[in-house]
Amino acid sequence: MSIIAPPVPAVQTVGLTRTYGNMTALSALDLTINRGDLFGFIGSNGAGKTTTLRILATFLTPTAGQAFVLGHDVVREADAVRHVIGYMPDFFGVYKDMEVTEYLDFFGACYKIPTVQREKTVNDVLELVGLSEKKGALIGALSRGMQQRLGLARVLIHDPAVLLLDEPASGLDPRARIEMMAILQELQRMGKTIIISSHILSELQTLCNRVAIIEKGKLIYSGPVQGVRDQMSSGRVVWVKVSTDQKHAVQLLKTLSEVSAAEAVDGQVKVTLQDHETDHSVVADVLVRGGAKLLELREDEVGLEEVFLQVTRGETQ
C-alpha cells in the first residue's frame, strides 16, 4: 500500500528569528500558509510583518530558523524562490517618464520572457488589473490607485504562484481599495497563494480565509478568520429586546449557566454567553418560559478590528 505524502505548504517558517543588535524584530515565528490561501498578516507598525515578508522575498536573511516557499529554502535556494514569488513592498519606485507598456516590458525582459511572448504577457496582466486602457499612458500621469495596480501587474509579469503584498491598499481611496480587493479575489480564484499585510482589518475580514496576528515579533494567532473571533474574543454577545420588565428578563437570564453576564443597556438587554459553542436559542427559551415577551434577539458580530484591539497592546520593538 503506497503512502501519499502530505502536500507541501505554500509558505512555512520554522523558528524564524531576526535580530538587529539588541532588538528582536522576529522571535521564533512558526507559520504555515497553505496553497490557495488568501492570507491576512495583521499587526501594528513595527510588529514584524514587513521583516517577515522581506525574508520570504529573499531580501533579508534570518538570524535563526528557516523559511520555505513551495519547499525551497529562502537562503539556500534563493534563486528558485525568486522565480515563484511576486513581492510588492509597501512603497515601490516607478519610472514616471516611462509608458505603462514600456515599464512592464522592461520587467518582462528582466525575467527573460522571450520577446515574442512579452507583448501578450503585458496585455494579459494589464487586463487582469484593469489597466488595458492605459497602455500608452505615462506612469507619472496615473492616479495613486492606478500606480498600485501597475505595481501589482509588475509582480504578476512572470506568473508567480505566491504573492507577497505589503500594504497593497496603502493610501488608496475607498473605490480604489475595493477595486484592489476584487483583483486579489480574482487572483485567488486563479489559484494564486496570496499573503497580504494590511491595517484595513474590516476588509481582511471579508477578503481572507485565514489570518495571523503578530505583535512584537511573536505570533499570537494563526488560523481561520472565524477561528480568531471565536478563540480570541472574550465571549459571544446577544442583544435582546423585551416588551416586559427588563429587570425581570435580566434575572431570568442570570439563572442560565450558559450566561456569564446580563445587563440592561439603552433599552435592551446585553447577554454575554460563556463560550462560542453555546446556541443562543437558550436565551429565547428561558425568557419565553419565564413569561417575558420577546421582541427581538440578535447576535453581536465581533469584527476583526475589535478582536485585534482585545488581544494586542499596540507595542512595537
Grid cell for residue 163: 504573492
Q: What is the DSSP letter of 138?
A: B
Which residues are 20's β-sheet partners?
A: 23
* SS3 annotation, 190-212: CCCEEEEECCCHHHHHHHCCEEE
- The string of pLDDT tens digits covering residues 164-213 is 999 888 778 888 888 888 999 999 999 999 999 876 676 677 788 888 88
Helices (H) and strands (E) counted in the chain, each on its own, are: 11, 14
- Angle subtended by helix axes 115-128 and 174-189, to nearest 10: 120
**Ranges under pLDDT 70 in the chain:** 1-6, 199-200, 202-203, 226-235, 275-278, 300-317
> How far, in Å, CA of 110 to CA of 94, rounded?
15
Residue 12's pLDDT is 96
Residue 258, classed as helix, strand or coil, is coil
Residue 128, classed as helix, strand or coil, is helix
Grid cell for residue 98: 516611462
Global pTM exceeds 0.85: no
Q: Which domains does the chain have, with CATH numbers?
A: 11-231 (3.40.50.300), 234-301 (3.30.70.100)
Residue 301's pLDDT is 59
Residue 88's pLDDT is 92
- Residues ≥6 apart with Cβ < 8 Å to 103: 94, 95, 139, 150, 154
Q: What is the pLDDT of the chain when averaged over all its residues? A: 84
> How far, in Å, CA of 44 to CA of 38, rounded?
20
